[in-house]
Amino acid sequence: MYFVLGPAGAFLFYSGNLLWIEARRKRQAQRQPLSGRLMAQATLGVCLGCVAGVSAVFLVNKLFPAAPGELPLWEERGYYAVFLASLAWAFIRPSARGVHPLLSLWRSESVVVGVNAVALGAGCAFWKMGRAALRRGRDGDRHSVWSMSFSDIDATASGNTPGIGL
């Protein structure tokens, strides 16, 4: 449930900011005002910075040889260094321009086509993994932790299941 709620909250923040920016642009003029551009850049930098910063914490935790008790300090430094670098990057580079995937294929824009292909492949892989997990829970061993059988839960709660000690 945490996995679903975490990205849902992030998506709410991101999509809400984008909707606000676009609605404001349509009300004023076709050209985006400076405040709208700054808000779009800040939204991109904060969202990407949070994700990249958390990834940096994992790397620092596993790869950095810190003295006992110093690791949390270095994890925090790693997070904020990557977060602030991402935020700065969002303000330095120009804003993204959306391109239809088939148009990028037609124009032979190999980088855009590659990113779209990887995203499509990852989406298909995650869908297949989800289907496999569902099959495993439904049709697999009923004593597995993946089992969707609720009779095991009821038996454990009443204390009638031999071999399970809590």
Q: For the chain, give the number of residues.
A: 166
Give the pair of three-digit tokens for residue 163.
């071999």
* 3-state secondary structure (DSSP) of residue 116: helix
Q: Quote the pLDDT of residue 159.
A: 53
pTM for this model (two decimals): 0.52
Q: What is the CA radius of gyration of the chain?
A: 23
Strand segments, DSSP code E, in the chain are none
* pLDDT classification of 24: cutoffs 50, 70, 90: low
Give the whole-angstrom CA distance, residue 120 versus residue 144: 32
What are 125-155's pLDDT values in tens digits? Answer: 888 988 888 887 788 777 766 677 755 445 5
Q: Quote the pLDDT of residue 152.
A: 47
Give the whole-angstrom CA distance, residue 125 versus residue 70: 39
Given a cut of 60, is residue 40 above it in pLDDT? yes
* pLDDT classification of 166: cutoffs 50, 70, 90: very low
Closest CA to 51 of 14, 15, 16, 22: 14
The larger pLDDT score, comparing residue 86 to residue 129, is at: 86
Contacts of 53 (CB under 8 A, 6+ apart): 78, 79, 80, 82, 83, 86
Closest CA to 106 of 97, 116, 96: 116
What are 46-84's pLDDT values in tens digits? Answer: 888 888 898 899 899 888 877 778 888 999 999 999 999
> For the chain, which residues make up each domain, given as ranges?
1-96, 99-166
